[in-house]
Amino acid sequence: MPAYPILYAAIAAAGSTFPVSWRWATRAAMIVALLIGLWWNPPYPFSFENNLAMTDFVDLQRTAAQYLEEHAGDARIASAWPFTDELHRPEFGFVDRPMQVRQIEDFKLSSFESLHRTDVDILVIYCRVWGIDTVPMQWGWLKDYLERNWGVNRQATPEQIRSTLGFVPIVRWDRHGQWIEIYVPETAITKK
């Protein structure tokens, strides 16, 4: 991060050596690239706040929070940050009153081992990193590289959640490659 100002100054200095017509062309190309980057998601994992994918992320979180407020007001809900804060703090605008939440670190299988079935009524899982479910992430060497150097880890699958906690998905929302899913105990489904 501290090197960015130096890098930008070097790029500006190098650009000043071009003729004036080239300077305008390169500026226009950079503006077009910036605008494309706001809407186009790259083919590799990235954080949602890097472009307008963040708006889809917030909309999905709001939809799930409203669903939970309407259908599970007093339930004990487990999820990861930031969704837990959105449910617990009404001032964020996702819910009208605080809900009971238990925060877990992430959605890796090892994180679910600390949860006890009797302490949680609902589990909310969502996509935290873009591109984690794409075909290139299935390549062993790429997956190992991203896990080792960038901390990008695969989330637990519905089958793993079912075998570990006994929870099954009941509702899911998708938007532009992102998703959020709500799980309940399998016993709650069979009782209905």
Same domain, 146 and 99: yes
Same domain, 25 and 108: no
Question: Going by C-beta distance under 8 Å and a sequence separation of 6 or more, which residues neighbour residue 55?
Answer: none
Three-state DSSP at 172 gives strand
Task: Indicate whether 44 pLDDT > 80.
Answer: no
Give the pLDDT band of residue 50 (cuts 50, 70, 90): confident
Q: What is the pLDDT of residue 167?
A: 94
Same domain, 78 and 16: no
Same domain, 16 and 82: no
Give the pLDDT mean for 48-64: 93
CA angle 22, 25, 31 (to 5 degrees): 140
Q: What is the pLDDT of residue 139?
A: 73
Domain assignment of residue 60, given as a range: 48-191
* Calpha distance 179→46 (Å, rounded): 15
Same domain, 30 and 82: no
Provide the number of structural domains found in the chain: 2
* Calpha distance 75→77 (Å, rounded): 6
What's 37's DSSP letter?
A: H
Three-state DSSP at 80 gives strand
Q: What is the pLDDT of residue 49?
A: 85
Question: Going by C-beta distance under 8 Å and a sequence separation of 6 or more, which residues neighbour residue 189?
Answer: 168, 170
Give the pLDDT mean for 18-42: 87
Of the listed ranges 20-29, 96-105, 167-176, the one predicted with least confidence: 20-29
More confident residue, 131 or 115: 115
Give the pLDDT band of residue 154 (cuts 50, 70, 90): confident
In the chain, the N- to C-terminal Cα span, in Å, equals: 54
Same domain, 25 and 81: no
More confident residue, 175 or 145: 175
